[in-house]
Structure 1
Amino acid sequence: MDALPLYRQLAAHYQQAIERGTLAPGSRMPSLRALMDRHDVSLSTALQSCRYLERDGYLEARPRSGYFVRLPGKPVCQPVAEPSTRLADPARYVGIQERVTSIIAQGKQFPVRFNLAAASGSPELYPTEALKQAMIRSLRNDPSVLTSSAQPLGSAVLRGVLAQRALSARIALSRDDIIVTNGCIEALNLALRAVAQAGDVIAVESPTYYGLLQILEAQGMKALEIPTSAQNGISVEALELAAQTYRNIKAVVAVPNFQNPLGAVMPDDSKARLVAWCEANAIPLIEDDTYSLLGSTDTPLSALKAWDRTGNVIHCASLHKTLAPGMRLGWISAGRWHERVAQLKHALSRAQEVLPQLAVADFMGSGAYERYLRRLRLALRDQREQMIEAVATYFPAGTRLTPPQGGLILWAELPGGASAERLFERAMCEGIAIAPGPMFSNSDRFDACVRLSCGLPYTRELNAAMRTLGRLAADLDG
């Protein structure tokens, strides 16, 4: 029998590597250039090999990214089920601090090798060198920033850049409409203090970021959990129903773009409807816009604030996930509550340190910022897709997951009512940290759900950790 053509021999070599798990599902195939150099073959041979593997289902070509590994007939998770309109009783919801503290304390008992619990990117994703150079330039241009008092609202230069950047989300602001904060968490704290007080009911998404539930409990407020879809975000219909039942709702808090933890994006017509309903009912709408720049494409997403004509939307945002986690910079545009928020900011924490603001303004005002964001989006898209494929491949049959179109996280629902907290405990023994669903609600509706971070590069070691996590989940299911 004649020997196989060279491209078939090369394809067989990589097919074997894929079947044995040496190249994990979702991982990037070596580039055509790397195949040429590694195996001393021509471009035509390398390309033919990849196309042959693609034909047989072992590779998937992605525009501008190259080839990625897949398994023929790979399993696909069914989407997370749409929520019912059952409402929660805010009066009985206390204890989220204790629940979250307990889970975090358990995590500290074991060394963590793979942190899949944090909704943040790995340090190498961010422009460390560019920010360092921007910091040096800013200090060289004005050394007095180290010894001068900071402006109460934040650096005018940074606020001007933020106002310009907000135009892509269809928000028209002046720099005087913006107050720089210590991340989005402080912005949310200020927004809630400005519009509500202890004992008030605040409508939130369900599930929602546990940090928001902690804020509400710390301020003595009650969280009314509104059913939220992994496809379309918070249910405006359920919110309208809630308002008929609970007539003392003092504010609504929503994450319209890549919601944490579901990853949902609200359609524009739903955003407009939510803004209009809150205005008609004189209920302040607090928007958390932390993740909107982390989509799979460069097409900008609209903020809720884009439909605000009366100042009823308080827009809270952060650079923590998109640019510089170590700088803890966020901002707030509080609409009709601007003066109240400015007074609260001064009373509670005073102005932010100036030098980081100048450095960030320097970088964000340059063309390098857009190029960096494009690289970040591509990297996160690849990491998300690899994590999605790993869940589909390794987790037990019946696991549900709605693939998000952006952001840093996945939300998976385990089959058979398996306990996410038990999976968390067993995974920690293996050095794998995850965020169990009970952290994201005061109810028991998400006891079988887990949030997984997509912020880590998908290495062979991480693939092995995902295989282990899937085995542990399958043991619980069994």
Structure 2
Amino acid sequence: MNTPPLYRQLANHYLDAIRSGTLKTGERLPSIRLMMEKHAVSLSTAVQVCRELEDHGVLEARPRSGNYIRQPDTAPGPKPIAHPPALESGVYVGIHEKVSSVLKASQRATVKVNFASAYCAPQLYPLKTLQDNMIKALRLDQHLFDTTSSTCGNSALRNVLARRMLTVKTNLTAERIVITHGATEAINLALRAVTRPGDTVAVESPTFYGLLQILESLNLRVLEVPASTHAGIHLPALEHLLQGPELIKALIVMPNLHNPLGSIMPDTHKARLVKLCAEHDTVLIEDDTYGDLVDTEQPLSTLKHWDRTDNVIYCASLNKTLAPGLRLGWISAGKWHDRVEMLKHTQTRGCEKLSQLAVSAFMGTPSYERYLRRLRKTLTQQREQMSGAIMRYFPEGTRVTHPQGGTLLWVELPARHSSMGLFHDALSLGIQISPGDIFSNAKRFTNFVRIGCGAPYSPRIDEALQTLGRLLKSQS
């Protein structure tokens, strides 16, 4: 019989203590530091013990206070996806090669069904409206193509973006916004503004593979901090690391609809995270690419909303919500604005004006919000259909996230299955997925896959999911 991993043995030890009454509801669990000393375990193991207890519904993390025993939920439900600990630091050597090999294999293949995309299907985007706005802009300004654009971007678009931020209780001035070539350039600019080669940058684990490529290309050291599907980055682990000997120059997080987890960080966690980073002089870079796709009546707050020291750099993108081909994003860099503006001018100059005019004309009308409501409703239905099919066709023991918005599902396969093996087998049949291996520099997500739900459910998609299920069962 296989021996359970150490973190699970310790979690069972505390579960037995709770069930027997030795530890009672409302009592405080030993801190992570004390648990490390008491059981002679690593930080990674101590963090995973707490997460295992959270998954059993018996532990509650209270900001600035610690972990407390709570009454477990009585309603039955699926066990949340569990993620292994990830806390080692090191130079990111090889992640670009790993990601590139996956992307190149996909480009060479004939893909019939693409589950690797984070975009919506073309028919879900307002393409006709954007095209009409472009034609109108060309008619109104005969000199669009014979004049250069501002480094910071079109003023009308920056004004629209600043006004929209008011709905999430975030005050940004248009003058402090820089339009970029998507969120990728925005994050590149943020990192170049606040770090130097060799600095340490913390990221959530897992995280978007494109971010890992950026970090390696800038020769930055990377610290992976575990994140969960229900609350995002693990704050006690981060706090412990911030107090450690290694200076963390910046932290990059995706608090609203994390890619790939789909997690949404609670407001209490957001406020605490912003304060923690300010206290330790760690620049907080917020990636809000998916924020507009969240299924809530009221917009979610940003980390920037809780910022009192101008320590948060806000980055966002319009590619996922409007049209991938536009490649429009933006950054509000706070006290680093002047440096970001100069870096933008040095690297790529201003973004072309035509797409900015077309987007600002649409986003400045009530039609944009109506479009977003329709899109969110459609995506909710697609995620539910995809999730149901995965549970029907994939092997027993498969677990799937249930995000409150967006186009992505994070799927945990039974431990014996290989997501990279599934990637290659599926690609040979014209089906593309994103293997979990590329969302971390370590081999911690080898049995995870990211599945995109941006296309309306169809017999073709259903058949492709059945095929994935058969391939997985053949691995057993």
Does TM, scored on the shorter chain, surpass 0.5? yes
Q: Normalising by structure 2, what TM-score? A: 0.82
Deviations 1:341-384 (CA, angstroms, capped at 9, x unpaired): 00100000000101110110000001111111111111111111
Residue 89 in 1 paired to residue 104 in 2?
Answer: no
Determine the structure 2 residue equivalent to 1:289.
Answer: 288
Instruction: Pick which of 241-250 and 448-457 moved more.
Output: 241-250
3-state SS of paired residue (1:286): strand
3-state SS of paired residue (1:293): helix
2:84–2:444 contact (8 Å) kept in structure 1 = no
CA distance in 2 between counterparts of 1:470 and 1:357 reads 43
Alignment of 1:69-468 (within 5 A): 78-81=79-82, 83-84=84-85, 87-91=87-91, 93-468=92-467
Determine the structure 1 residue equivalent to 2:63.
Answer: none
User: How many residue pairs are counted as aligned between the two chains?
Assistant: 401
3-state SS of paired residue (2:467): helix
2:242–2:280 contact (8 Å) kept in structure 1 = no
Determine the structure 1 residue equivalent to 2:26.
Answer: none
Instruction: Pick which of 137-146 and 404-413 moved more.
Output: 137-146
1:78–1:398 contact (8 Å) kept in structure 2 = no
CA distance in 2 between counterparts of 1:322 and 1:175 reads 21
CA distance in 2 between counterparts of 1:364 and 1:412 reads 34
Which amino acid counterpart does residue 87 of structure 1 have in structure 2?
A: L
Deviation, structure 1 residue 257: 0.4
Aligned Cα RMSD in Å? 1.4
3-state SS of paired residue (1:238): helix
CA distance in 2 between counterparts of 1:153 and 1:350 reads 9
Which amino acid counterpart does residue 223 of structure 1 have in structure 2?
A: V
Deviation, structure 1 residue 110: 2.4
Deviation, structure 1 residue 297: 3.4
Which amino acid counterpart does residue 390 of structure 1 have in structure 2?
A: A
3-state SS of paired residue (2:204): strand
CA distance in 1 between counterparts of 2:101 and 2:212 reads 15
Structure 1 pair 386–246 and aligned structure 2 pair: CA distance change class (3 A): farther
Structure 2 unaligned blocks of 5 or more: 1-76
CA distance in 2 between counterparts of 1:152 and 1:291 reads 25
2:183–2:330 contact (8 Å) kept in structure 1 = yes
CA distance in 2 between counterparts of 1:435 and 1:412 reads 10
3-state SS of paired residue (2:214): helix
Q: Normalising by structure 1, what TM-score? A: 0.82
Deviation, structure 1 residue 408: 1.1
Structure 1 unaligned blocks of 5 or more: 1-75
Deviation, structure 1 residue 246: 4.4
3-state SS of paired residue (2:144): helix
Deviation, structure 1 residue 138: 1.6
CA distance in 2 between counterparts of 1:297 and 1:114 reads 30
Deviation, structure 1 residue 178: 0.4
CA distance in 2 between counterparts of 1:137 and 1:309 reads 42
3-state SS of paired residue (2:389): helix
Determine the structure 1 residue equivalent to 2:65.
Answer: none
1:411–1:450 contact (8 Å) kept in structure 2 = yes
Which amino acid counterpart does residue 171 of structure 1 have in structure 2?
A: T
Instruction: Pick which of 255-264 and 106-115 moved more.
Output: 106-115
Determine the structure 1 residue equivalent to 2:53.
Answer: none
Which amino acid counterpart does residue 417 of structure 2 have in structure 1?
A: A
Deviation, structure 1 residue 130: 0.7
1:78–1:402 contact (8 Å) kept in structure 2 = no
Q: Which has the larger Rg?
A: 1
Deviation, structure 1 residue 82: 5.0
1:77–1:392 contact (8 Å) kept in structure 2 = no
Deviation, structure 1 residue 77: 5.7
CA distance in 1 between counterparts of 2:188 and 2:384 reads 34
CA distance in 1 between counterparts of 2:174 and 2:105 reads 44
**Identical-pair percentage:** 51
CA distance in 2 between counterparts of 1:317 and 1:109 reads 31
1:182–1:330 contact (8 Å) kept in structure 2 = yes
Deviations 1:92-123 (CA, angstroms, capped at 9, x unpaired): x4110110111122223421000101111111
Deviations 1:427-462 (CA, angstroms, capped at 9, x unpaired): 111111000001100011101100000111110111
CA distance in 1 between counterparts of 2:468 and 2:443 reads 22
1:135–1:355 contact (8 Å) kept in structure 2 = yes
Determine the structure 2 residue equivalent to 1:67.
Answer: none
1:298–1:374 contact (8 Å) kept in structure 2 = no
2:89–2:221 contact (8 Å) kept in structure 1 = no
3-state SS of paired residue (1:146): coil
3-state SS of paired residue (1:345): helix
